[in-house]
Amino acid sequence: MSGRVSDEEVIRRLEEFGKSIAMQVLKGMPPRMEIPVRTLSNTIWDEKRRILVLGPAKAKREFLDMKESRKFMQTLLMLSLILMARREGDFPTIRDLYYMGKHTIRYRDVHGRERTEETWNDQQESNSVIQDIEVATGLLREEMGIMHDAKGKIVGRIVIKSKGYEIDCSKLGSGAYAIPPNPDRLEIVRVEADYVLCIEKDAIFERLNEEEFWKRENCILITGKGQPDRATRRMVRRLWEEFGLPIYVLTDADPYGWYIYSVYRSGSISLSYESEKLACPGVRFIGLTTSDIRDYKIPKNFIIAATERDLKRAAEMLRYPWFKSEAWQRELKLFLRQKEKVEIEALSGHGFRFLSDVYIPEKIEKKKWIE
């Protein structure tokens, strides 16, 4: 199965990283580690693969550098925690790791006074070194067996096998299957759908599930409840990569919704290093767009005035290389001119079933998506 890294391989790569540092110490060299830089300046738009990737910039983290010694210590501490979990076959959450590694260092300051310091003060600090270890070893945290709050849901024409149990996602009644933190540990047994529809909003997902939209349309519904987490994106990526399904994204007509589409498709700036495994360059956007306001004659009472922040965000997106397509440039410029946004629910102005009966099928059949 593609993307699946064995536990042995994970342990080997983590140890390799740690041992290179141990070696330096034993040789009496001031230890240093190289960590790829995770900032916008080191995020590159890969034109050919159409995804955001991490650039080549690397930062040296040296133990003997006063400003970096704390981060150095934190990185090694986290590395040892992850390794221990892997060796034991445990699956800690990022919060578990935070608590396992949090303890008090006692020392004397320059004036000889007794002082204490926490190995990390908040989870942001421990999360940050997890990300460092991800980029330094090229292993995603899911591959390292680290769990987090997964919020994605899936329902429709798909059968999954998890821990030996088969789950038929078309037999869940009113519910849906919660995507686990590491979808790579799932086996996808059977897919009988024609496409995948990713929905921004949970409420819309629930409504379409209730209507059994997926049965009628022979598709799979997925929601990431707003900005999709890594597990949801990994799931979508697998369905695209392994089963060649077309992927459609449905969001509100505002810059926030459009950025969700771009995260599915190209990856996010803050986590560009995972794009290789999470981005899904085949994703298509079916709506809602600013043009839909006119094309679908959205009633005036559903139209909302764009805020300053919306406009600023749209102006930024206009400059992103992955929004440079003709269609997107046209939509963004239209938004900036019209200064209007609408929610998916606006389509209910034409009746509650307008979305499922008319809008989605029409957009897909008539290929009215944009990329």
The binding site for other proteins (CB under 8 A) comprises: 14-15, 18-19, 21-22, 25-26, 28, 30, 63-64, 66, 69-70, 72-73, 76-77, 79-80, 83-84, 105, 107-110, 117, 119
43 contact partners, CB below 8 Å, separation of at least 6: 52, 53, 54, 55, 269, 272
Q: Is 99 a catalytic residue?
A: yes
- Tell me which of 99, 248, 296, 320 is the catalytic residue: 99
Closer CB to other proteins, residue 72 or residue 335? 72
CB of 181 to other proteins, least distance (A): 24
* Backbone angles phi and psi of 107, in degrees to 5: -155, 175
Closer CB to other proteins, residue 63 or residue 213? 63
CB of 29 to other proteins, least distance (A): 8
CB of 348 to other proteins, least distance (A): 56
CB atoms within 10 A of CB 34: 12
Residue 266 in contact with residue 281, Cβ under 8 Å? yes
Closer CB to other proteins, residue 119 or residue 348? 119
d(CA 123, CA 149): 14
Closer CB to other proteins, residue 73 or residue 315? 73
Residue 347 in contact with residue 295, Cβ under 8 Å? no
Quick one: which of 80, 81, 62 has its CA closest to 72? 62
CB of 34 to other proteins, least distance (A): 17
Closer CB to other proteins, residue 129 or residue 150? 129
CB of 15 to other proteins, least distance (A): 6
d(CA 240, CA 254): 26
Half-sphere exposure of 220 (CA within 13 A, CB side): 25
Closer CB to other proteins, residue 16 or residue 47? 16
Angle between the 69-88 and 94-101 helix axes, to the nearest 10 degrees?
A: 120
Q: What is the CA radius of gyration of the chain?
A: 23
d(CA 217, CA 194): 8
Annotate 297-312 with b (16+ C-beta within 10 A) or e (fewer): ebeeeeebebeeebee
CB of 6 to other proteins, least distance (A): 19
User: Per DSSP, which regions of 237-302 are E strands?
Assistant: 247-250, 284-287
- Active site amino acids: 99
